[in-house]
C-alpha cells in the first residue's frame, strides 16, 4: 500500500472517530423513563419551539433561555437538576415533589432500585 492510500484511509478513520465522539457528546443523559415522566409534569421548565430552534421556558418566573441548538438538551438537564435538588426528596419507597414553600405537592412510588439510583445520579438527592 502506498503512502497516499495510507493517508486517505488515515484521514477517513480520524474523521469517523471524531464524528462518533462528537455525536456521543451531544446526546443527553439516559433517563429512567417512568419516574422522569412523572416528575417532569411538576417541573417548571418546558421546551418551546421557535423559528431558530428551541427555547427553555421557565413557567414560574416566565423567563426564556435560548442556548445554542447543540446545547439545548444539556442545558435543560442542568436546570432540571438544579430544580430537583431543591424540590425533590427521597423517603423510603417514595420521591416527594415539593412546592416553592416546602409543601408536599405529590408523592410518587418508586417501583424498583433503578429508579432510586436514577434519582440519586441525575438529581443528586
- The stretch 38-49 carries a mean pLDDT of 93
| Torsion angle in degrees (nearest 10) through CA of 40, 54, 69, 80 | -20
Question: Is a pLDDT exceeding 90 seen at residue 102?
Answer: no
pLDDT band at 27 (very low <50, low <70, confident <90, very high): confident
What is the number of residues in the chain?
A: 125
**Interacting residues of 118 by C-beta distance below 8 A, sequence separation 6+:** 31, 32, 35, 36
Residues 42 and 106: beta-carbon distance below 8 Å: yes
Q: Which three cell numbers stand for residue 64?
A: 426564556
The whole-number average pLDDT for the span 21-26 is: 84
**Is the full-model pTM beyond 0.85?**
no
Q: What is the pLDDT of residues 86-95, one digit of tens each?
A: 999 999 899 9
Amino acid at each position: 500500500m502506498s503512502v497516499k492510500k495510507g493517508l486517505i484511509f488515515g484521514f477517513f478513520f480520524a474523521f469517523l472517530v471524531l464524528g462518533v465522539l462528537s455525536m456521543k457528546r451531544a446526546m443527553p443523559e439516559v433517563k429512567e423513563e417512568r419516574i422522569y415522566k412523572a416528575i417532569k409534569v411538576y417541573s417548571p421548565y418546558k421546551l418551546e419551539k421557535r423559528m431558530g430552534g428551541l427555547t427553555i421556558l421557565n413557567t414560574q418566573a416566565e423567563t426564556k433561555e435560548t442556548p445554542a441548538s447543540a446545547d439545548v438538551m444539556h442545558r435543560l438537564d442542568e436546570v432540571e437538576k438544579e430544580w430537583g435538588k431543591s424540590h425533590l426528596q427521597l423517603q423510603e419507597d417514595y420521591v416527594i415533589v415539593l412546592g416553592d414553600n416546602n409543601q408536599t405537592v405529590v408523592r410518587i412510588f418508586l417501583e424498583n432500585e433503578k429508579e432510586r439510583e436514577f434519582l440519586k445520579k441525575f438529581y443528586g438527592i
